[in-house]
Amino acid sequence: MPTDFSAPAANATEYAVELAKFFDASLVLVNAYPLPTVAYEAPYVIESVTTIQKASQEKLENLKSEILLKYGNDMKIHCYADMGMPFDVISAADKEFKADLIVMGIVGEAGGFKEKIIGSNAVSVARKIDTPTFIIPENVKYKRIRKIAFACDLNKTEETDLVFVAKFFSKVFDAELEIVNVGAMEEEVSVEKAATYLYLEQKLENVKHQTTHIVGDDISAELEDYFAEHPADVVMMNPKKHNLFYNLFHESVTKSLAFHTKLPLLTIH
């Protein structure tokens, strides 16, 4: 659970705690602190780095104490503080602790500049790290996951492992799985797509599921509108670049869903 101790991160931490309780898993609190930029000689830089490192570790320990006080001392919580860019520190912690899930917060209604120019560390982690990642919008609270909507384009889905990953999460949470297929207005149902539908039905026969087809030329807008009217407990997608799904779920769509849907986003690879 990466945190910068902001309000969105605190909200995501509560979500991560609930997931850790659900899975009876350990929780790793991660904080990345930057190298200070100073115009002094080396000894002062070293002292400043030590001070920042100590402050980061103390904040994590305080957060750990708050969680244990609120949720009980039986939780296993680790603290990981390191100097560097957030993505690099999160990636290092992910490898060191062999994480099963990453949970990150994202600020709500971030505004055009932050969304389009700055982007989000959460979106970057979700796209570039293979560990499944929950992106939790600000003010979205944890609730029992009973319905997972998996948004995909069904383009040669049978050539990937994504259906099995989606099925796994559906079974783990004992949740209904909705396959939300997005297609262009002029797109026809081809023989290949019909075969994919048959493949899905065969692989998901032991899972409560349904398949929904929506059309539109603006993928982000169509998905946002659909989930506004047909809410799920989690929206699942595969945002990785340069794969079969890239034409559908490139960075702009991932960002749009992460910033604008009021639902937790679970990215899988």
- β-bridge partners, 177: 148, 209
What domains lie within the chain, and their CATH numbers?
A: 7-137 (3.40.50.620), 147-267 (3.40.50.620)
Cα–Cα distance between 170 and 262 in angstroms, integer? 20
Average pLDDT over residues 161-188: 85
Answer yes or no: is pLDDT of 14 > 70.
yes
- The tens digit of pLDDT for each residue in 121-148 reads 888 898 889 999 999 988 899 999 999 9
Q: pLDDT for 205-226, tens place per residue?
A: 899 999 898 887 777 788 888 9
- Angle at 70 (CA atoms; ends 25, 72), nearest 5 degrees: 50
Query: At 66, which amino acid appears?
Result: E
What pLDDT, on the 0 to 100 scale, is given for residue 112?
A: 46
CA torsion, ordered 5, 267, 228, 108, to nearest 10 deg: 20
Centre a 10 Å sphere on the Cβ of residue 95 and count the other Cβ atoms it contains: 11
Structure tokens at 128: 């570039």
- DSSP conformational letter for 184: -
Residue 153 makes CB contacts below 8 A (sequence gap 6+) with 181, 182, 183, 245, 247, 248
pTM (two decimals) = 0.85
pLDDT the model gives residue 35: 74
